[in-house]
Amino acid sequence: MASAWERKWQYSDLGKKVVFLPSILLCELFIDPGFPMMLHGVLLLLDVSGFTTLSEKCVQRSGPDRGAEELAQTLNAFMRDILEEVLAFGGDILKFAGDAVLVLWRATQPQLPKAITLALQCCRKIQKKYGTRDTHVGLRLHLKIGISTGTLAFLSVRGGDQQYFFIYSRALNDVIEAQSLSAAHQVMLSQTCWEQCEQWRIWAKPLPGRRVVKVVGMRRLSRQQCQVAVGQLDQYTAEWHLEGSGLRRPALKMPNDPDVATRLEKHLPAAVLHKLHQDVPLELCSELRLVTSLFVQLQFVVRINVEDLSRSLSDSSSMISEIISPHKGEINKTLLFDKGCTFLCVFGFSGAKLASESIHALECAMQIVRMASTRLTKLQRVSVGVSSGMAFCGLTGHPERFEHTALGFKVNLAARMMVSYPGLVSCDAETYAASRLPSDCFKELPRRNMKGVTNSPTVYQYVGITEKW
């Protein structure tokens, strides 16, 4: 894995932080705004279909240790090629979600048609070159891509000592729907995106009964036209640039600025800061570790305005951080989809290992449910999935834009349990066994089919430590 992050240039000290963050956070407008900031843009959601099944097959073929490493190597090789194209077309990589990536082309209202063309040409090229990938376990991966556009609310909220950002808008819901309706080698546009694009360049077919159109062809831009278009949008996507650096993201060579560094550090996970403060080279920030993954989904009421949502997200982030931090857990990922917010919390990263880790995670899960139910006024439902097992803990993405996260079948399983058993604290058999808690702390749940999981595992509901125990 070390060679995956090596480049002929060296990042600046500040660049080592920038590489974990989207370019939009470098813009002056988004320096800890404290309230929703409105912008226009084009969203792209790219998902690798078959990732959960791949993670399961890697473990079945090579065992939990080697399987987790093989999964990370396969995903990184695939993602590097794809994200190289995204960066070349001026896309700002906002969020990673394991096997999915959310990208933004920020633009003014008049520039949206050209931004849509850029995003679409990028996607068509990606689907042509990388739309299908055969893996070493005999499984074929496919890309599913959706594009939308509109007015976006940029939300920046505090959670403990850290800062988290979210994008919220109808366009986010639209891009999720478009991507979900996509199939292998397809690109789907939301209806709003279709209405605002340069239609004379695009051949498309509407999907009956859906506000989505399937792109079947387009008049492509020349390389020079693409470069001009990217340059025109660039002033709106990243304001910190250096010429002649040879990087897709010249901001990685930014001179050191203590004020900027301090601000950016608030957005970095504790595991990343721990490595950076120890001057650990980026290529050595990955390892295999036994961790416990805790996925939390907070489903808010349907009718919630952006101000109330921003307040709820801030309260949620602070509450979860307050609960898990004393137990050495950390919020690794935050995602906002369709008025539901998902947090990935990880227990057991380097420098944060405790004995009886599964008990800490389960009790944190129960506290989150109890406190969320009483403190979050706009909450409709809270669901938690907890799993334990070997995971690849390290860098995933592209050498110029990556994240530090946990990857593995058990991590995916926690997310699937969270969705399949709504309103409960669910856990896998390994967490149940490792906790060594009495059986009356748990209830075995009916087996359910989970997306991408071929053999439905035994799942338990954690009901809490009883007074009897």
Residue for token digits 């960066």? Answer: 87
Of 30-39, 110-119, 408-417, give the lowest mean pLDDT range.
30-39
> 12, 254 in Cβ contact below 8 A?
yes
Mean pLDDT taken over the chain: 86
Tell me the three state secondary structure of residue 303.
coil
Locate the DSSP E strands across 268-372.
Answer: 287-300, 329-337, 340-347
Tell me the three state secondary structure of residue 259.
helix
Q: Measure the CA–CA gap between 38 and 43, rounded to whole angstroms.
A: 14
**pLDDT at residue 339 in the model:** 56
3-state secondary structure 143-181: EEEEEEEEEEEEEEEEECCEEEEEEECHHHHHHHHHHHC
Give residue-wise pLDDT tens across range 132-154.
Answer: 888 888 888 888 999 999 999 88
Look up residue 345 and give its two tokens.
């919390």
Q: Measure the CA–CA gap between 26 and 238, rounded to whole angstroms.
A: 7
Q: Are strands 401-407 and 379-398 parallel, antiparallel or unpaired?
A: antiparallel
**pLDDT at residue 463 in the model:** 95
Look up residue 313 and give its two tokens.
């997200």
Q: Taking 70 as the threshold, does the pLDDT of residue 221 lie above it?
A: yes
Give residue-wise pLDDT tens across range 82-92.
Answer: 999 999 999 99
Question: Who's near 121: CB < 8 A, 6+ residues apart?
Answer: 89, 218, 220, 221, 226
**pLDDT at residue 237 in the model:** 47
**pLDDT at residue 369 in the model:** 96
| Domains of the chain, start order | 28-237 (3.30.70.1230), 269-469 (3.30.70.1230)
Q: Taking 60 as the threshold, does the pLDDT of residue 121 lie above it?
A: yes
Instruction: Read off the pLDDT band of 98 (50, 70, 90).
Output: confident
Look up residue 135 and give its two tokens.
């893996």
CA 241 to chain centre: 25
Instruction: Read off the pLDDT band of 301 (50, 70, 90).
Output: confident
Instruction: Read off the pLDDT band of 58 (50, 70, 90).
Output: confident
Neighbours of 440 (CB within 10 A): 11
Instruction: Read off the pLDDT band of 169 (50, 70, 90).
Output: confident
Q: Measure the CA–CA gap between 244 and 88, rounded to whole angstroms.
A: 15
Q: Taking 90 as the threshold, does the pLDDT of residue 445 lie above it?
A: yes
Give residue-wise pLDDT tens across range 340-367.
Answer: 899 999 999 987 888 889 999 999 999 9
Of 93-107, 251-265, 442-456, give the lowest mean pLDDT range.
251-265
**pLDDT at residue 2 in the model:** 37
Q: Taking 80 as the threshold, does the pLDDT of residue 204 lie above it?
A: yes
Give residue-wise pLDDT tens across range 395-436.
Answer: 888 989 989 999 989 999 999 999 999 999 999 999 999 999
User: How many residues make up the chain in this entry?
Assistant: 469
**pLDDT at residue 333 in the model:** 92
Better pLDDT: 223 or 419: 419
The pTM score is: 0.91
**pLDDT at residue 303 in the model:** 79
Instruction: Read off the pLDDT band of 8 (50, 70, 90).
Output: very low
Task: Tally the C-alpha atoms within 13 A of residue 247's C-alpha that lie toward its C-beta.
Answer: 24
**pLDDT at residue 244 in the model:** 44
**pLDDT at residue 338 in the model:** 61
Question: Who's near 199: CB < 8 A, 6+ residues apart?
Answer: none
Query: What is the share, in percent, of the chain residues with pLDDT greater than 90?
Result: 46
Give residue-wise pLDDT tens across range 269-284.
Answer: 888 888 888 887 777 7
3-state secondary structure 182-214: CCCCEEEEEHHHHHHCCHHHEEEEECCCCCEEE
Structural Rg of the chain based on CA atoms:
22
Residue 157, by phi and psi: left (phi above 0), alpha (psi -120 to 50) or beta?
beta
Q: Taking 80 as the threshold, does the pLDDT of residue 467 lie above it?
A: no
**pLDDT at residue 33 in the model:** 56
Question: Residue 459: phi, psi to the nearest 5?
Answer: -125, 140
Tell me the three state secondary structure of residue 56.
helix
Give residue-wise pLDDT tens across range 305-338.
Answer: 888 888 889 899 999 999 999 999 999 999 987 6
